[in-house]
Chains A and B, each alone.
Chain A
């Protein structure tokens, strides 16, 4: 059975070109880039070239502002803990209720150690209220950390506007954004639309580089202390021997993403095709985040009256790889914090499924999902005590709520 991979917000396949770019550093060019002998020069040069490539792809200006890390979670941890360490007197952080755990849980940890954290709510479409945001900013605010695009729903926050609002009134407040889901999918210009952003995190494996490499953009002059100490690497901002092969892979992935940014329109068209067909074929289906600007590749839907894990199980039987915000899939007993923050109706809260496409997704694959999905929902609804299969609608004697 052919695998249909539509879980690209979880991870992506490694692009063949990326793999090619990495191989030399896993074979003959294995030298430590910090060594003195001539043989290590290629490794050292490769890292600096990669820095330039990554910097160029984000129009970041001076490549020294790019710090290579092991993943976006490390980048996020470095940004938040690093800024706090550099400004020990300020104790207020602004973030949102729907961040990835690599920001949300770090902020909760900060709250436990004496920081005051404002978690901004979102509306039922997943949008932030700008007025709420403005009110949350205070003279003693240390850091604003708000994601660019949400990993579960694909909802895009107006980082351009939010960062401008902060910098126009309080240039000393540090603005961080976790752009893990948007780099390579949306235009990011650190000298243009993102010129007010001080720190930006992302990772390789969401953009067809392998797992285990990420980056943090640190705008020159931003107070941020290192998280990993004990080495001179990365200008003393991150200790640890550089992962040369993976850094080369990340650079190649950034280059490819630039080259393929036009494909995002095609991806969006495929996503819309999937969305429209499912909405048409499946009654009582919610599109989470439909009322907000969204990533071109993400579709998060919730089928009322059934549970998401069973859907995933059956999709998997058809070779379709997707994910769910259902409690049952996460090992926790509560549904996703994003669905809860959006106030998704409780009859649909447990039935959410996320399809996330990539530039490698084909029309045939999308059509295959359109073919299979409605039957899966129908089958599970037949088993549901809340669904009247004869009349194809919710049961009126609804059972306990």
Chain B
């Protein structure tokens, strides 16, 4: 199904990519604040930079005058980044005030986003937060003294709940509360958590447990987990007796290979299963029209005579 993007989203994307004047693609050199969120392995990432008009007496009165982004991601990720920069520039915010911009403001600016794409707008808000933290450090502003909490920055540390997208428990808890996420699908749409292998959905300490903890649900809503009993692909066949394998190898080396090598060919032992001996014809033998005859009269017959009459040679 084509994504149901709003006209606004599509226009912002195209304008940005084609460098229409007034768009914000790029990176500010020597920025006053720089923040990043996401990673290329996870499918989207953003680098957000801004410049401020500095207030000489009180850095908290700095005003953001310019904002730019570089974004790896889909149409809506780039449009969300564009939306964030537009919102910030229009509002003449101080960095601290800019923190009031939420992912919902971005979604509204875009005139809606498909549910599965909400995480694109969340990324913008997170990168902004990281950039404000960076600005504070550069300008010597003590955010915690001002009562501004920047949890995202500290939440990089903590127990990882979703391994696929490296999402930590403190981050999950805060976001679940902030965005009022009540179900696993909602969490996945907004934060990507649980969108990969889904093994964290109902694992102990997994998404459902975290959701329950945040909302104080007594009884976990248990949904049958998708228990995969599929086994690994390197399933080994029952082992052939060691002695038998050795005899086959010896017969090949002592009798068969010297004969084939004399004709510019060779044979390689691939595997043995019971009395089935899998071989690969090499060199001149590999492309020889008489390969089948070689297999039967030289390889198989010799192995039968030398080792066991029940042997069958199979060309791989």
Which residues of A line the B interface, CB within 8 A?
97, 107-108, 111-112, 114, 116-121, 130-132, 134-138, 165, 168-169, 305-310, 313-314, 317, 326-329, 331-335, 346-347, 349-350, 379-380, 382-386, 399-401
Contact = CB atoms under 8 A, between A and B. Distances in A.
By Cβ-Cβ distance, the 4 closest A-B pairs, closest first, are A333-B195, A309-B74, A328-B74, A385-B70
B221 interface: no
Interface residues of B, number: 58
Given A112-B228, A307-B44, A136 B71 contact: no
Contacts of B231: 116-118
Contact of A385 (B10, B72, B230, B234): B72
A400 B234 CA distance: 34
Contacts of A131: 270-271, 278, 316
Given A168-B314, A334-B196, A305 B72 contact: yes
Contacts of B27: 385
Given A134-B271, A333-B164, A385-B36, 19 more contacts: A117-B230, A118-B235, A121-B233, A132-B234, A135-B235, A165-B316, A305-B40, A307-B43, A307-B77, A309-B3, A310-B73, A313-B74, A314-B14, A314-B17, A329-B3, A331-B1, A333-B119, A382-B17, A399-B47
Contacts of B276: 169
A121 B233 CA distance: 7
A200 to B, nearest CB: 23
Given A131-B271, A380-B17, A112 B75 contact: no
B45 interface: yes
Given A112-B229, A165-B316, A331-B116, A350 B40 contact: yes
Contact of A382 (B25, B40, B119, B228): B25
A117 B233 CA distance: 8
A169 B314 CA distance: 8
A313 B70 contact: no
Contacts of B106: none
Nearest to A120: B233
B237 A135 contact: yes
A307 B42 CA distance: 11
B14 A310 contact: no
B271 A334 contact: no
A399 B73 CA distance: 14
B133 interface: no
Contacts of B226: 112
B195 A346 contact: no
Nearest to B236: A135
Contacts of A309: 3, 74-75
Contacts of A108: 228, 230
B74 A165 contact: no
A341 to B, nearest CB: 10
A135 to B, nearest CB: 6
B227 A112 contact: yes
27 contacts: A112-B229, A118-B233, A119-B233, A121-B233, A169-B312, A309-B75, A310-B75, A317-B14, A328-B74, A328-B75, A333-B119, A333-B192, A335-B43, A346-B40, A349-B41, A383-B16, A383-B17, A384-B72, A386-B72, A399-B36, A399-B40, A399-B47, A400-B38, A400-B39, A400-B40, A401-B39, A401-B41
B25 A386 contact: no
Interface of B: 1, 3, 10, 13-14, 16-19, 25, 27, 36, 38-41, 43-47, 70-75, 77-78, 116, 119, 164-165, 188, 192, 195-197, 226-231, 233-238, 270-271, 273, 276, 278, 312, 314, 316
Contacts of A333: 43, 119, 164-165, 188, 192, 195-196
A198 B105 CA distance: 58
Contacts of B70: 383-385
Nearest to A384: B72
A314 B134 CA distance: 34
A171 to B, nearest CB: 13
A205 to B, nearest CB: 17
A111 B72 contact: no
Nearest to A398: B40
A218 to B, nearest CB: 26
Most buried by A among B47, B229, B270: B229
A114 B230 CA distance: 9
A161 B235 CA distance: 21
Nearest to A347: B40
A166 to B, nearest CB: 10
Contacts of B312: 169
A130 B316 contact: yes
A305 B197 CA distance: 23
Contacts of A329: 3, 74
A309 B3 CA distance: 10
A131 B72 CA distance: 40
B195 A385 contact: no
Contacts of B47: 385, 399
A114 B229 contact: yes
A348 to B, nearest CB: 10
A307 B73 contact: yes
A122 to B, nearest CB: 10
